[in-house]
Every structure is written in C-alpha cells, then in structure tokens.
Structure 1
Amino acid sequence: MDWMLKDLAEGVPQTRYVVLLSADGLRMAQHGADVDAADRLAASCAGLQSLASAVGREFPDKQGKMRMVVIELDVGFFYLMAAGSGAHLAVLADEGVDAGLIGQRMRDLVIRIGEHLSSPPRQDRRAG
C-alpha cells in the first residue's frame, strides 16, 4: 500500500505525511512519516473519527457517517477521510497546499482502491 500513498503525496506539492489506518487507530501503511510519527497520527485519528461520528448522530432524521474531517492549523492542514470498511486515510500538509486538490486526490484514491483499503474487525484470539 505504501506506493499508493507515495503517489498521492508526490502528486500534491506541500504534502508531508499520508497514513492509512484502521478505525481503531492502528497504522496500516504510511508515506513521508517515520513509524513513530505515523503511529501517533493514526492514534489521534481514531479519536477524531469517534468525535465526528458523535456529531453525525446529532442529525435526527439520518445517521450521519463521517466522510471527511479537515483541521486548519496556522502551519498547515490535516485531513481525515473514511476509506473503506473500517479504514481511514489521513494526510498532513503544509500551509501552502492546494486544499481542494488534496481532498480531490484523496477521494480519487479511495474510490479507485477503496475495497483494498478495508480493515476487517479484529478477533479476540483469547476467546473460545
């Protein structure tokens, strides 16, 4: 998976990190970040995804599912996008990034290979 993330990162100038993670915050693949940084980002994303899901439940007519979270910082942007069943795609980018382009490229990647970006639920091997 790393090469697909590399393609995304190199296709959008100012992109720092691209991380694929499971819904429970475990890093599945990364580009641009060392393993420790990718693990920290993945763990943080699990909390953000949970918060976004809680906000989605505030729509009384429908169960809103998180599609994308965008955080603008004074030094750049952070994007978190749902990417298949139980998986998410996260991008950290510098301030000068083309915000529309990174969102579009993330969506394109998820559409193109979304079925390969799934993370099945973990099984408790101690049970049974």
Structure 2
Amino acid sequence: MDWMLRDLASSVPQTRHVVLLSSDGLCMAQVGTDKDTADRLAAACAGLQSLSGAIAAEFPEGDGRMRLVVIEVDGGFFYLMAAGTSSYLAVLAEDSVDAGLMGQCMRDLVARLGEHLSSPPRVDGRVT
C-alpha cells in the first residue's frame, strides 16, 4: 500500500513521514521513514486515537469517533486522521508545511481510497 501514500508525500511539500496504521497500532504501510520509526509512530498513534475517542464521546450529538487530530510542536506538525474501517493515516510534516493543503490532501486520499485503507478485524491474532 506504500504507493497510495507516496502521492500524498510528494504532493505536499515539507512532508516527512506518512504512516497507515491499524486501530491497534500496527503499521500497515509507510513512506518517507524506516520501519522502526513507522512502528513507533503507529504505536503512539493507537494511544492517541483511543484518547481522542474518549474525548469525542463527551459530545453527545456525535458518533464518538475521532476524525482528525492536529498537534503542533517545535519543528513541525503531526496529523492523525481516521481512514478506513479500523485504520488511521498519520503524517509528520515540517513547520513550514501548508496546513490547509495537508488536511485537504489527506481528506482526498481517504475519500478516494478509504475502502483500501481498512484494517480487517483480528481474532486471536489472526485476520478474520
């Protein structure tokens, strides 16, 4: 699935890493990063999406799902967006990134390829 993410990374200048992960923190694909970094990001994102879901549940009119988290830190931005079923798209970008363009390109990718970005459920460690 790396090729699906490569377009996002190349179309938004200042993109560092793009990772597709399952809701339980497994890296499914990555661009612009090595496997160890992608695995660390995926594990951290699993915790962040869980925390975001708990916050989303405080809005009774919503469905309790996290859609997008953006974190600005010294040196850049972190984006985490719900992708397909049980999957998320994470991006690290430099501080000079066009934040609007990044958000739009991430939404476009998820809209175009959402069903391909899904993570099938696992039971006892196996895909069902």
Bin of the TM-score, shorter chain as denominator length: over 0.9
Partner of 1:122: 122
Partner of 2:105: 105
Structure 1 residue 120, shift from structure 2 partner? 1.1
Partner of 1:87: 87
Structure 1 residue 62, shift from structure 2 partner? 3.5
Classify 1:8/1:125 alpha carbon distance in 2 versus 1 (closer, same or farther; 3 Å).
Answer: closer
SS of residue paired to 1:52: helix
Structure 1 residue 121, shift from structure 2 partner? 1.1
Classify 1:12/1:60 alpha carbon distance in 2 versus 1 (closer, same or farther; 3 Å).
Answer: same
Structure 1 residue 60, shift from structure 2 partner? 2.7
> 1:82-103 CA deviation, whole Å, 9 max, x = no partner?
0010000000000000000001
User: Which whole-Å CA distance do the structure 2 matches of 1:61 and 1:3 have between them?
Assistant: 37
Tell me whether 1:4 sits opposite 2:4 in the alignment.
yes
TM-score (norm 2): 0.95
Structure 1 residue 64, shift from structure 2 partner? 2.8
Classify 1:125/1:51 alpha carbon distance in 2 versus 1 (closer, same or farther; 3 Å).
Answer: closer
- Alignment length (residue pairs): 126
Alignment RMSD: 1.2
Classify 1:10/1:124 alpha carbon distance in 2 versus 1 (closer, same or farther; 3 Å).
Answer: same
Give 5+ residue unaligned stretches, structure 1: none
> 1:13-52 CA deviation, whole Å, 9 max, x = no partner?
0000000000000000000010000000000000000010
Report which of the two structures shows the higher radius of gyration computed on alpha carbons: 1
Give the stretch that moved more between structures: 94-103 or 62-71.
62-71
Partner of 1:39: 39
Tell me whether 1:58 sits opposite 2:58 in the alignment.
yes
Give the stretch that moved more between structures: 58-67 or 109-118.
58-67
Partner of 1:77: 77
> 1:67-96 CA deviation, whole Å, 9 max, x = no partner?
000000111000000001000000000000
Partner of 2:29: 29
Partner of 1:96: 96
